Amino acid sequence: MQNKLLFILLFALILPQAQAGEAVPTADDVVLEERVMSVSSELRCLVCQNQTIADSHAELAVDLRNQVREKLRQGMSEQEIKDYMVARYGDFVLYRPLMKRSTWLLWFGPFLLLALAFGVLIVKLRQRRSAIQQASTLSPAEHARAELLLSGTDKEARP
Amino acid sequence: MTRFLLPLAAFIVLVIFLGIGLNLKPREVPSPLIDKPAPAFRVPQLHEEAKTIATEDMRGKVWLLNVWASWCVTCREEHPLLVEFAQQNLVPIYGLNYKDKREDAIAWLTERGNPYVVSAHDRDGNIGIDYGVYGVPETFVIDKQGIIRYKQIGPVTAEALKDKIIPLVKELNGAK
């Protein structure tokens, strides 16, 4: 409980500062800012590789967001900006990997594994079924003994 | 017997993949700029603001471009080696002082020695972006035609010098 309170207090302290760090977008900037964020969320921050440059607070991410804003202002399309980034940082900068030969394993690997697992499952089930079928074929003598056992008279039947 | 062999085999495969995964360097993203022309720049020099330094001045020679900054901790690690390497006069090293204050950068070099023929001052980091810099220090080997031939991400190490950079520089200088 105390921890929670402390956390809220801390958060309340941080919040105004977080806002103060960014320029308040003016009315006509809102559309641009949205586009900046939408392009940025497609680009990987290479410093903290599991974040997009929209999420990251790394200095490079801030610089790259500014670049994106600048380019959008200059009238570059979103695709052109992505191409610009890829030319400098490589395909890895795209947060959603491209579909090409070198990424096929990445895209289809999980499905391949799933198919493989299903294959193993089916083979195993078949093996088990045939094992059960083999085991259930009893000879007439075994049948007779089983009946004796079930009828509860096996005690007398035993030598 | 196969009861145990199969899980064991699966486990060994897992361990092998894990081993490979541990030895990968995900921070070293291959640069798309290898074998591409080095992005052109003309910016003020670090020490003499009035003078500029440009990629085209370097045409016709093999050179290294070392991205560094006074705030960069790993650069400190790399620096003595660079100073020593510069003294061998095998190849001119140019610096790209990245997102740094001029005074800080100059003081840093005065204190630790200056391996650079000239340092370019990239105050805003725009040249850095053109070169796809994402982790300082980074070092580029650029040939006589201005093509980037090699990129070292992170500090230049003695091994990298011996195995990659020096042989490459010799090869590039040998080729007309």
A63 touching chain B per CB within 8 A? yes
User: Are B120 and B49 contacting, i.e. CB atoms less than 8 angstroms apart?
Assistant: no
Please give the mean pLDDT across all residues of chain A.
82
- Best mutation target among B134, B138, B140, B153 (most A Cβ atoms within 10 Å) is B134
pLDDT at B153 over 60: yes
Residues A27-85: pLDDT tens digits?
567 888 889 999 999 999 888 888 898 888 888 899 899 989 989 999 889 899 999 99
User: Are B120 and B46 contacting, i.e. CB atoms less than 8 angstroms apart?
Assistant: yes
User: Are A89 and B29 contacting, i.e. CB atoms less than 8 angstroms apart?
Assistant: yes
pLDDT at A136 over 60: yes
Give the one of B27, B99, B132 whose C-beta lies nearest to A89's C-beta. Answer: B132
- In which band, very low, low, confident or very high, does the pLDDT at B4 lie, cut at 50, 70 and 90? confident
CA distance A99 to A143: 62
The two structure tokens encoding residue B139: 């070092």
Residue B27's pLDDT is what? 78
CA distance A121 to A118: 5
Average pLDDT over residues B129-154: 92
Give the one of A86, A87, A89 whose C-beta lies nearest to B134's C-beta. Answer: A89
Contacts of B27 in chain A (CB under 8 A): 49
Residue B111's pLDDT is what? 93
Interface contact flag, B129 A49, Cβ < 8 Å: no
Please give the mean pLDDT across all residues of chain B.
91
For chain B, percent of residues with pLDDT exceeding 70: 98
ipTM over 0.85: no
pTM value is: 0.73
Residues A78-100: pLDDT tens digits?
899 999 999 998 888 998 888 88
Strand partners, B42: B54
Residue A58's pLDDT is what? 87
Nearest-Cα distance to chain A for B86, in Å, is 28
- In which band, very low, low, confident or very high, does the pLDDT at A23 lie, cut at 50, 70 and 90? low
- Eight-class DSSP state of A44: B
Contacts of B31 in chain A (CB under 8 A): 89-90
129-158 in A: which are within 8 Å (CB) of B?
A: none
CA distance B127 to B67: 10
Average pLDDT over residues B85-104: 93
B169 Rama sector, left if φ>0, alpha if ψ -120 to 50, beta otherwise: alpha
